[in-house]
Amino acid sequence: MESIKDKVAIVGMGCTKFGENWDKSYDDMIIEAVYEAYEDAGMDPRNIQAYWIGSYWSGMPAPSQPLSAILKVGYKPVTRIENMCATASDALRSAAYAVASGVCDIALAIGAEKLKDSGFSGLPTDEIAMGITSTAPNTFRSRNFTAPGHFAMMATSYFNKYGLSPEEGRRMLAKIMVKNHHNGTLSPKAHFQREITIEQVLNAPMIAWPLGLFDCCGVSDGAAAAILVREEKAKSFRKDPVYIKALQIAVGPQEGYMNPRHDWTMVKETYHAGLAAYAEAGVKNPRNDVSMAEVHDCFSITEAVTYEDLQFTRRGGAKEEVDSGTFELTGDLPVNMDGGLKCFGHPIGATGLRMMYEIYKQVQGKAGPRQVKNPGLGLTHNLGGTPGGATVSVCIVGP
Amino acid sequence: MVGIKSYGVYIPYFRLSRAEVAKSWGGYPYPGERAVANYDEDTITMAVAACRDCIRGFDPQEVDSLFLASTTFPYGEKQSSSMVAAAVDLKKDALTLDLSGSLKSGTVGVRLAFDAIRSGSAKSALVSASDMRMGLPSGSKELEFGDGASAFFLGDTEVIATIDSFYTSNEDLFDVFRPVEENYIRSWEDRFCREVGYNRVVLETVTAAAKKFKFTARDFTKAVLYAPNTGYLTGVARMLGFDLKTQVQDSLFNTIGNTGTALSLMMLASALDEAKPGDKILWVGYGDGCDVMVLTVTDEITKIQSRKTVQKHLASKNSLSYPKYLRWRSVIKTEPPMRPRPEPASAVALYRDRKCGMALYGVKCRQCGTVQYPVQRVCMNCLAKDNFEDYRFADRIGRITTFSHDNLAVSPDPPSTIAAVDFEEGGRIMMDVTDRDPAEIKIGMPVEMTFRHIRYVEGIHNYWWKCRPVR
Residue B453 lies in a domain: yes
Residue span of the structural domain in which B416 resides: 347-469
pLDDT computed for residue A131 by the predictor: 38
Q: What is the pLDDT of residue A138?
A: 47
With beta carbons under 8 A apart, name residues in chain B contacting A136. Answer: 349, 352-353
Q: What is the predicted pLDDT for the residue at A129?
A: 39
Name the domain boundary from B274, B298, B328.
Answer: B328
Burial group, residue B228, by CB count within 10 angstroms (0-12, 13-18, 19+): buried
Contact B350 A120 (CB under 8 A): no
Average pLDDT for chain A: 93
Judge whether B410 is closer than 8 Å to chain A, CB to CB.
yes
CB A216 within 8 A of CB A364: no
Cα B391 to Cα A138: distance, rounded to the nearest angstrom: 16
Residue B305 lies in a domain: yes
Domain identity same for B107 and B238: yes
**Selection from A308-317, B26-35, B348-357, B372-381 with the highest mean pLDDT:** A308-317
Q: Give me the residue spans of the domains in chain A.
A: 8-120+223-236, 146-217+243-398
Of A15, A85, A216, A343, the active-site residue reads A85
| CA A83 to centroid of chain Cα atoms | 12
pLDDT tens digit sequence for A278-302: 999 999 999 999 999 999 999 999 9
Q: Distance between alpha carbon B50 and the CA centroid of its chain, in Å?
A: 5
- Percentage, residues of chain A above pLDDT 90: 86
CB A9 within 8 A of CB A64: no
Same domain, yes or no: B69 and B213:
yes
- Taking CB atoms and an 8 Å cut-off, how many pairs form between chains A and B? 154
More confident residue, A309 or A74: A309
pTM: 0.95
pLDDT band at A135 (very low <50, low <70, confident <90, very high): very low
Residues B65 and B27 in one domain: yes
- One CATH from 3.40.47.10, 3.30.70.580, 3.90.1150.10, 3.30.530.20 for A8-120+223-236: 3.40.47.10
Dist CA B384 CA B391 (whole Å)? 16
pLDDT for residue B336: 86
What integer pLDDT is reported at residue A61 of this predicted model? Answer: 61
In a domain, B336, yes or no: no
Is any Cβ of chain A less than 8 angstroms from the Cβ of B420? yes
* C-alpha distances in Å from residue B444, one per residue of A388, B13, B95, B401: 18, 22, 41, 6
Question: Within an 8 Å CB–CB cutoff, is residue B416 touching chain A?
Answer: yes
- pLDDT above 70 for A150: yes
Point out the least confidently predicted range of A11-15, A155-159, B281-285, B428-432. B428-432
Closest CA–CA distance from residue A56 to any residue of chain B (Å): 16
Are B245 and B353 within one domain? no
Secondary structure of A74-116 as H, E, C letters? CCCCEEEECECECHHHHHHHHHHHHHHHCCCCEEEEEEEECCC
Specify if B264 maps to a domain: yes
Beta carbons within 10 angstroms of residue A371's beta carbon: 16
- CATH code where residue B173 lies: 3.40.47.10
Q: Does residue B340 form part of some domain? A: no
Closest CA to B319 of B33, B59, B74, B71: B33
Q: Mean pLDDT throughout B417-421?
A: 96
Nearest-Cα distance to chain B for A239, in Å, is 48
pLDDT at A142: 65
Q: If you average pLDDT over residues B109-116, what whole number do you get?
A: 98
Q: State the nearest Cα–Cα gap between A112 and chain B, in angstroms.
A: 21
Number of domains in chain B: 2
pLDDT in tens, B181-234: 999 999 999 999 999 999 999 999 999 999 999 999 999 999 999 999 999 999
**With contacts defined as CB-CB under 8 Å, which chain B residues touch A120?**
338-340
Shortest CA gap A388–chain B (Å): 10
On whether residue B275 sits in a domain, the answer given is yes
Q: Is A346 a catalytic residue?
A: yes
What confidence score (pLDDT) does residue A62 get?
Answer: 67
The yes/no answer on whether domain A146-217+243-398 falls in CATH 3.40.47.10 is yes
Q: Do the domains A8-120+223-236 and A146-217+243-398 sit in the same CATH topology, yes or no?
A: yes
Is residue B337 a part of any domain in this protein?
Answer: no
Q: Say whether both B200 and B70 belong to one domain.
A: yes
pLDDT digits (tens, 9 = 90+) for B42-84: 999 999 999 999 999 999 999 999 999 999 999 999 999 999 9
pLDDT in tens, B224-263: 999 999 999 999 999 999 999 999 999 999 999 999 999 9
Picking from B6, B9, B97, the residue whose alpha carbon sits closest to that of residue B55 is B6
Higher pLDDT, A118 or A90: A90
Query: Do residues B449 and B400 lie in contact, with contact meaning Cβ atoms separated by under 8 Å?
Result: no
Does residue A126 sit at the B interface (CB-CB below 8 Å)? yes
Query: Would the pLDDT of A368 be above 50?
Result: yes
Q: Does A279 touch chain B (CB under 8 A)?
A: no
Integer Cα distance of B212 and B168 in angstroms: 12
Type of residue numbered B194: R
The one catalytic residue in A272, A346, A381, A395 is A346
Q: Is B451 part of the contact surface with chain A (CB cutoff 8 Å)?
A: no
- Residue B306: the pLDDT is 85
Whether residue B342 lies inside any domain: the answer is: no
Mark whether B385 and B257 lie in a shared domain: no
Q: Are residues B33 and B116 in the same domain?
A: yes
Per the prediction, chain B carries an average pLDDT of 96
> A149–B418: do the CB atoms touch at under 8 Å?
yes
